[in-house]
Amino acid sequence: MSKELNEFLQSNLNDLKSKGLYNEIEPLQSANGPMIQVGGKELINLSSNNYLGLATDERLTTAAKEAIDKWGAGSGAVRTINGTLEIHLELEKELAKFKGTEAAISYQSGFNCNMAAISAVMGKKDVILSDELNHASIIDGCRLSGAKIVRVNHSDMEDLAAKAKEVRESGLYEKAMFITDGVFSMDGDIAKLPEIVEIAKEFDLMVYVDDAHGSGVLGHGHGTVKHFGLEKEVDFQIGTLSKAIGVVGGYVAGTQDLIDWLKVRSRPFLFSTAVSPADAAAAKRSLEILDADTSLNEKLWENATYFKEKLNAMGFETGISETPITPVIIGDEQKAQDFSKRLYEEGVYVKSIVFPTVPLGTGRVRNMPTAAHTKEMLDNALAIYEKVGKEFDLI
């Protein structure tokens, strides 16, 4: 091994470990359902993005098995050579229907999708206004595009309008785009899309919404754009197939022209093998279920509302969330980590989230109640919260 690489790795790994910033990953010994097994222990799982419990739904696993039997384990090539199987097109048709757009394109992940879509449309002569709390994959996609990046204060419409005016008046740029998460993953607040769309009209901005945490959750499951009825105004509806949809993959839904362009110009579509047939078939099945039946979505909201109300009633600080994402804000980073460890010892799996993922001094644990939790599981978790919350003087 290169001496230089060895020194680089050793010194940086030791540095992270000495500061308590090295994230040790514990594997699950069970599927990622409402109860999980970790380190031989059965725990109530409040950390997954499996909002609707579909990741372990038999209808999806059956669709995946049937697809493997029909199409094999792998897609065999990138989409543009001969890796486009009919199941990919069926998935994309279902996605467009689900999102209320003319067409859709799928990618191997939501992360990949942001890298793909932003850089296929935006370039060096363009400008991107980006909410400061946008997901890492949006930040990386913006950087990759080479466009000028202007950070906009989080959900601050005055700041957005002022910066949009400034970039337009400067005359320095060609295309301009505003990018936002639909639902912000650390606080659970919803982007102010109606105001964003108005500002976008005034300053001729494209609107790009990454709805990783809104799809399956808002708009009776169809997402944040549908929640506000803005399917015609939002240019790019981005999402992941890995959270509420329960599988893996990412997508863009939009006009036929946009999708046609992405099929010839987005690099992960051109140069990375298509999602597996099993993933495509399971995701398609998941969308069909969500289209036909809103009961899982209703159950998610019922569980999340119950859980959040009980935590608030006990005196926990749950922040500004408007969605099932339920942070319990602790403040001090070390205290947040210790709190999470004690919950674990008592039987609740909920990860602490600290700086730099969230601002310094706002360390928290982030609860993700799902449609798959029973009331008994939530009550057991709440009893543990009450006990540990008192130990930590949080309530």
The residues assigned a catalytic role are 185, 213, 243
For residue 377, give the H/E element and its range: helix 375-391
* Binding span for ligand PMP by CB under 6 A among 63-71, 106-114, 347-355, 367-375: 106-114
Minimum CB distance to ligand PMP smaller for 215 or for 340: 215
For ligand PMP, the closer of residues 286 and 384 by Cβ is 286
- Identity of the residue, 94 or 211, whose beta carbon is nearer to ligand PMP in the bound complex: 211
Nearer to ligand PMP, 45 or 240 (CB): 240
Q: How far is the CB of 242 from ligand PMP (least distance, A)?
A: 4
Q: Determine the angle formed by the axes of helices 256-265 and 110-121, rounding to 10 degrees.
A: 100
- Return the residue of 33, 34, 53, 110 that touches ligand PMP, per CB under 6 A: 110
Nearer to ligand PMP, 88 or 388 (CB): 88
- Minimum gap (Å) between residue 55 Cβ and ligand PMP: 12
Instruction: Give the Cα separation of 202 and 262 in Å (integer).
Output: 26
**Dist. CA 281–CA 276, nearest whole Å:** 9
Q: Which of 137, 237, 276, 286 binds ligand PMP (CB under 6 A)?
A: 137
379 SS3 class:
helix
**Tokens encoding 116:** 């793909």
Contact string 179-218 vs ligand PMP (x = CB under 6 A): --x---x------------------------x-xx-----
- Which CB sits closer to ligand PMP, 49 or 101? 49
C-alpha–C-alpha distance, residues 48 and 55, integer Å: 10
Stretch of 29-37, 105-113, 259-267, 384-392 contacting ligand PMP, by CB under 6 A:
105-113
Name the maximum alpha-carbon separation found in the chain: 62
- Contact (CB, 8 A) for 28 and 41: no
CA distance 225 to 239: 11
Instruction: Please report how many Cα atoms fall inside a 13 Å half-sphere around the Cα of residue 87, on the Cβ side.
Output: 25
Closest CA to 33 of 60, 56, 13, 62: 56
Residue among 212 and 378 whose Cβ is closer to ligand PMP: 212
DSSP string for residues in 105-168: EEES-HHHHHHHHHHHH--TT-EEEEETT--HHHHHHHHHHT-EEEEE-TT-HHHHHHHHHHHH
Please identify, among the stretches 12-20, 21-29, 108-116, 353-361, the one whose residues bind ligand PMP according to the rule CB under 6 A.
108-116
Q: Which stretch binds ligand PMP (CB under 6 A): 12-20, 103-111, 299-307, 363-371?
A: 103-111
CB of residue 114 vs ligand PMP: minimum separation in angstroms? 6
Residue 191 CB, shortest distance to ligand PMP, in Å, is: 11
Neighbours of 201 (CB within 10 A): 11
> Residue 127: in which H helix or E strand, if any?
strand 127-131
Please give the residue whose beta carbon sits closest to ligand PMP in the complex. 110
Q: Is 224 in the site for ligand PMP (CB under 6 A)?
A: no
Binding-residue total with ligand PMP (CB under 6 A): 13
Residue 149 Cα to chain centre, angstroms: 22
| Among the listed residues 79, 88, 99, 135, the single contact to ligand PMP using CB under 6 A | 135
Q: Which two tokens stand for residue 365?
A: 């644990």
Distance from C-alpha of 357 to C-alpha of 359, rounded to nearest angstrom:
7
Stretch that binds ligand PMP, among 107-115, 186-194, 225-233, 380-388 (CB under 6 A): 107-115
| Structure tokens given for 353 | 């989230």
Task: Report the C-alpha dihedral over residues 47, 49, 52, 53, rounded to 10 degrees.
Answer: -60
Contact string 237-256 vs ligand PMP (x = CB under 6 A)? ---x-x-------x------
H or E stretch covering 68: helix 58-71
Nearest to 130 by CA among 197, 198, 176, 169: 176
For the CB of residue 109, give the shortest distance to ligand PMP in the complex, in Å. Answer: 3
If the CB atoms of residues 111 and 203 are measured against ligand PMP, the closer one turns out to be 111
Contacting positions for ligand PMP (CB under 6 A): 109-111, 135, 137, 181, 185, 210, 212-213, 240, 242, 250
